Structure 1
């Protein structure tokens, strides 16, 4: 029996490794989501402008407090995150008076176990609905803000900020909410090429040989798969999304309390990314459209020399995720450029359900956000199967991600029956309504730590 359980466990882990790679990105451009979710909310929309500040200036002023906070964050993670891999003592930040800016920054990154190559540059992403707000700013090349090449069809347009330049909290939050996809969580595990040597052990899921896949355990959380799944694949419990949210929200509170409001908003925006990722069913479930026995059976067949079912499962789950991401990103971009609203923008701005959720608490990401997304998985997957062209979501021989640049999804969707399109759009709008509420509730949670009432 023990050997049989081991074979099932190995099979399931193989499935998750590839499915996690397929969903390494969740929502495309998070800034498009955050601009719309926050632009009509007075707490952010009416907040006074803040002065841009470099990370080096912030760390120079607050090195002692930040270093102490990173130790408190580590203690919290060991106590509260399931299957957490503790930070080695050698990564503890002990500030020294003679530290240079570069040494201080590296020590900060090591204490957080964040990519040492993360630029954290001064920038904002252009809001395509209001490009006039940044029309006179200097455009930035991707390498100034990205640690990795942008994804295919990237929609980000970034412009530079200067130290001391006034900037709206809305622009800071929306821009920072997209940043973690710029390579901040890349190459952190021991078996990644170019590993940062942070003592995280082997990558628990996702393919460690594929660079973008190495961020998956920070951007996904399979918290609600059930006891059988957890017993067969215990490595899937090693998600670091909660770690990032706790790190950034507590850093934001420290920055606000110490008068560094720019970094208060910037760290809050960074936390938003992981919250928004976990509203995505393909990030909160190993395979929303597939039951556990089917996943295991596909991988057992693969081990017996019949790889077709497993390969098809991987492609279909990947295609459905990419279809949803492509559609919502392109729709939001086109609507912003046209200055128009659709049900997607209306869902993001809808504040009516914000108070229906529990107040922000340290386990909000796992117990509220991920639980809701996991529960929505089967219905979301079914709506995409019904609403999108069949060749994109039912044909395992078609790889949407590989051909995405040549696909005009809008045109293809217009050829679908109206009821089919409406089903898919309604499912996406429901998820975006959740995302908007959890985005605002995260900001509320940070402000509550500072003693403010949004």
Structure 2
């Protein structure tokens, strides 16, 4: 009986996790900007010199070899579900510049085709400084550009100077540009077969964007029975990414490489921010373990519709949540509406909680998972029935999804838009808190020469 239940729940979890969307917060700089831009830490901070990745790697190759060795040892010892890096991928100082970028990207096990050019992501109010516009396809490896088509990018020149904040804020979106695609054995990539992560634990390994999900989610607060029957939920690597990029940032600052110190910091912030998003901390909000088993028992007996419906509804809710959030936040930025609930939340986050290695487990994802129930209730109350409660509908394929805010306003009234905004804004207060807590931790550990000129170095 126990083995049968294991198979039933494992099959259900694997199947339903295949529906998980992989974006967390859409367009991170629109959240990080309001959260951090007004802090005194940026006062009198010197502009930093733009440096290509190749320049950084060549100059620091030998020190980087030692750093990555010690970082791997730390990860093996401290990360609970870590998949050790294969020995063949160890970064070694060879003195050869031609392949140094490839050696580095494979050593940190990201997509070796990641482009990583010198550019800025502009918010709606930012001027382009008269610099050449960059096209999104020259920045990302993604085939589907999505919302990147609506974003303004400009090229930077190596050796020019730029505010540290702009470097960091731009970098907070980069991990969604293809870093974590194709890294598993069954993703049909030559590099994924060598990275040591095994088969993709959940999601469709044949879909381009699906393979990044296990690197941007952390399911740390499920019931014991869920982990027992669905151990695949433990195979997430967001903690690996956060700690790797956090340490790389501090390494770069120690080497006097401020540009890459701030850029690596932005990468780490991306993954920290993802965990404040309920659908990245809770795979199945409002679905109990026993309900999962019952649904799958019916499917095993031939009544598969309940399982199909459950998968579709979870997918639709996630899609609606993300699209509503992005449309409202983008409108607030374009209109410079600092009285919008999202802007109020981001500029007035919860009080900072000291960032430690346990922060993402014991604080951020724990609160996010708990709040997933409120988010689920809000979607059921404020979103038209067909988009979140009709399993015959694929929300992402409807014409309504691209104008979801107006659809809600027309069918449910302004009260519904306000109600959902307030629920999402609560999560944005947590996002802002996490960003400030993380920044405080980085400033405390940053070498003195990389710190601000002002004596007030606290971000809070």
TM interval, short-chain normalised: over 0.9
Structure 1 residue 3 displacement after superposition: 2.7
1:229 aligns with 2:226: yes
Structure-2 change in CA distance of 1:382 and 1:32 (3 Å): same
Of 402, 425, 428, which aligns to 2:424?
Answer: 428
The equivalent of 2:365 in structure 1 is 370
Contact persistence 2:405–2:417 (CA under 8 A): no
Tell which deviates more after alignment, 167-176 or 239-248. Answer: 167-176
Contact persistence 2:254–2:447 (CA under 8 A): no
Report the secondary structure of 1:191's partner residue. helix
Contact persistence 1:15–1:295 (CA under 8 A): no
1:194 aligns with 2:183: no
Note the residue ranges of structure 2 that are not aligned, 5 or more in a row.
Answer: 449-456
Report the secondary structure of 1:301's partner residue. helix
Contact persistence 2:249–2:261 (CA under 8 A): yes
1:181 aligns with 2:179: no
TM-score by length of 2: 0.92
Structure 1 residue 405 displacement after superposition: 7.3
Contact persistence 1:81–1:243 (CA under 8 A): yes
CA RMSD of superposed structures (Å)? 1.8
Structure-2 change in CA distance of 1:263 and 1:400 (3 Å): same
Tell me, in whole angstroms, the C-alpha distance in 2 between the residues paired with 1:405 and 1:394: 15
1:286-307: CA deviations, max 9, x gaps? 1113222222333333333322
Of 332, 346, 349, which aligns to 2:347?
Answer: 349
The equivalent of 2:156 in structure 1 is 161
The equivalent of 2:7 in structure 1 is 7
Tell me, in whole angstroms, the C-alpha distance in 2 between the residues paired with 1:136 and 1:115: 32
Structure-2 change in CA distance of 1:137 and 1:295 (3 Å): farther
Tell me, in whole angstroms, the C-alpha distance in 1 between the residues paired with 2:273 and 2:25: 8
The equivalent of 2:285 in structure 1 is 288
Alignment of 1:107-186 (within 5 A): 107-130=103-126, 132=127, 134-154=128-148, 155-186=150-181
Report the secondary structure of 2:60's partner residue. helix
1:324 aligns with 2:316: no
The equivalent of 2:452 in structure 1 is none
Report the secondary structure of 2:35's partner residue. helix
Contact persistence 1:11–1:300 (CA under 8 A): no
Alignment of 1:193-342 (within 5 A): 193-196=188-191, 197-341=194-338, 342=340
Structure 1 residue 47 displacement after superposition: 3.1
The equivalent of 2:89 in structure 1 is 91
1:201-230: CA deviations, max 9, x gaps? 111122212121100110011111121111
Contact persistence 1:38–1:44 (CA under 8 A): no
